[in-house]
């Protein structure tokens, strides 16, 4: 049976190599002293220095982060209360409304971007920072609802009523009883919304105006003239930040529940 285990390990290794080999190459060439991707010109930090002195990229990074965190925060609030409202509906209306809420996730981004652009044009709203923020909130809310709903299903349906019977107001019951239990879903929805906002290109391309561009649009514009090694450096820093954040979240989970990091010993009574 060892050959089956070795085959599974080899299969997993091939999948991991397929997923991470491009990222490893990107990180490697971010330290390449040559602009050519066909030859190695020696180790250098030149592209990182030029990255932080590039006003266009730094401006796009600031816009991306501000739009991302604002859209994630707004969509988390709207999505959480929307999920609670949907959860309190009857089964058939809830299923119908969930289908409508999930439609932006299933719809093509091109259709979403064009429809939002036409909506802003009909409302005589000039394309710019505000329209970019509103469009990101629009397609991030369904991801928050999708993350919060499973946590609501796990709650005791009588929990809110028990809190009110003990003297808590509806808002106090929500903040002190309901919210702590669904917080993992709320946090997951926030992270998902933040990731989708930072990663988006198509919707942003149709709903932004002149003078306002995020990283994806800036990189797309620069790619027409050829990929600069500064983009490799920027991508390496983004990957490093996400990797460190992931390690921090896992370590925090281990601190809360140390049993996750070790195998529990079972004592057999005699």
Query: Mind listing the pLDDT tens digit for each residue in 110-133?
Result: 999 999 999 999 999 999 999 999
Burial of 170 (0-12, 13-18, 19+ CB in 10 A): exposed
- Sequence length of the chain is 270
Q: 217 with 204: CB under 8 angstroms?
A: yes
End-to-end CA distance of the chain: 34
128 and 209 Cβ atoms separated by less than 8 Å: yes
* Bridge partners, 43 (sequence order): 32
Q: What pLDDT, in 10s, does the model give residues 24-62? A: 988 888 888 877 777 777 888 888 988 888 888 889 889
For 218-231, give one letter per residue: b (16+ CB within 10 A) or e.
bbeebeeeeebbbb
- Mean pLDDT value of segment 66-88: 92
Angle at 51 between CA 49 and CA 53, to 5 degrees: 75
Reported as a single tens digit per residue, the pLDDT across 186-204 is 988 998 899 889 888 899 9
Buried b vs exposed e over 90-99: b needs ≥16 C-beta within 10 Å? eeeeeeeebe
**The two three-digit tokens of residue 41, written as one number:** 């010109």
**Rounded to whole angstroms, how far apart are CA atoms 228 and 235?**
11
The third-level CATH classification (topology) of the domain covering 56-242 is MetI-like fold (1.10.3720)
Give the residue-averaged pLDDT of 221-229: 78
User: Which sequence spans correspond to the domains of the chain?
Assistant: 56-242
pTM of the model: 0.81
- Residue 185's nearest CA partner among 141, 224, 152, 230 is 152
Predicted confidence band at 263 (pLDDT cuts at 50, 70, 90)? Answer: very low
CA dist., res. 203 & res. 132, Å (int): 8
Identify the pLDDT of residue 266: 40
CA-CA distance, 239 to 138, in Å (whole number)?
Answer: 26
Higher pLDDT, 259 or 194: 194
The runs of H, that is alpha helices, within 53-178 are 55-87, 91-106, 109-122, 129-154, 159-165, 170-173
Q: Band of the pLDDT at 70, cuts 50, 70, 90?
A: very high
Residue with tokens 């290794």: 13
């Amino acid at each position: 049976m060892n050959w089956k285990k070795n085959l599974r390990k080899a299969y997993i290794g091939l999948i991991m190599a397929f997923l991470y080999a491009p990222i490893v190459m990107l990180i490697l060439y971010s330290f390449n002293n040559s602009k050519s991707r066909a030859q190695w010109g020696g180790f250098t930090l030149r592209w990182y220095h030029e990255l932080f002195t590039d006003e266009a990229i730094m401006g796009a990074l600031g816009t991306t982060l501000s739009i991302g965190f604002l859209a994630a925060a707004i969509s988390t609030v709207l999505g959480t209360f929307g999920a609670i409202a949907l959860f309190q509906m009857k089964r058939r209306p809830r299923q119908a409304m969930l289908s409508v809420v999930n439609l932006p996730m299933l719809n093509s981004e091109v259709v979403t971007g064009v429809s939002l652009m036409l909506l802003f044009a009909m409302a005589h709203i000039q394309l710019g920072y505000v329209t970019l923020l509103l469009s990101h909130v629009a397609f991030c809310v369904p991801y928050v609802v999708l993350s919060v709903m499973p946590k609501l299903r796990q709650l005791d349906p009588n929990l809110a009523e028990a809190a009110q019977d003990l003297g808590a107001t509806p808002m106090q019951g929500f903040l002190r009883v309901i919210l702590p239990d669904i917080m993992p879903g709320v946090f997951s929805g926030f992270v998902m919304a933040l990731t989708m906002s930072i990663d988006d290109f198509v919707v942003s391309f149709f709903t932004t105006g002149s003078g306002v561009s995020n990283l994806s649009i800036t990189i797309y514009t620069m790619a027409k003239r050829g990929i600069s090694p500064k983009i490799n450096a920027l991508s390496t820093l983004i990957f490093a930040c996400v990797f460190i954040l992931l390690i921090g979240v896992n370590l925090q989970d281990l601190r809360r529940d140390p049993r996750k990091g070790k195998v529990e010993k079972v004592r057999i009574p005699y």
